[in-house]
């Protein structure tokens, strides 16, 4: 995933925000907060994970499917990887 180096800090920052949100969920559960509050934070976590996944998918498509100079074999491999991940992600 060497192409993520150019976006490395941006992706790391997203992961850190997600970690912070999950830590907030843990604290809320320990403190027995209202379930509606917990669900609201969890919805935010899901949105954040979806955003992160979107960024990584976009980079993958641009670098492994649509980039100029790729052979048809490389494009097919990049597409197959993406399909496998999307199938698992959408389960």
Domain ranges of the chain: 5-89
The 8-class DSSP code of residue 65 comes to T
Asked if the model's pLDDT at residue 4 lies above 70, the reply is no
* Helix and strand numbers, DSSP H then E, in the chain: 3, 0
CA 66, 67, 72, 75 dihedral sign is: negative
Q: Which pLDDT tens digit goes with each residue over 36-90? A: 999 999 999 999 999 999 999 998 999 999 999 999 999 999 999 999 999 999 9
Evaluate whether the domain defined by 5-89 bears CATH number 3.40.50.1370.
no
pLDDT number for residue 53: 95
pLDDT interval class at 1 (50, 70, 90): low
């Amino acid at each position: 995933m060497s192409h993520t180096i150019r976006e490395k800090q941006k992706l790391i920052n997203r992961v850190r925000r997600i970690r912070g949100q999950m830590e907030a969920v843990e604290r809320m559960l320990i403190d027995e907060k209202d379930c509606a509050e917990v669900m609201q934070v969890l919805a935010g976590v899901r949105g954040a994970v979806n955003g992160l996944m979107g960024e990584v998918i976009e980079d993958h498509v641009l670098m492994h499917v649509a980039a100029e100079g790729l052979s048809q074999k490389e494009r097919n491999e990049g597409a197959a990887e993406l399909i496998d991940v999307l199938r698992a992600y959408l389960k």
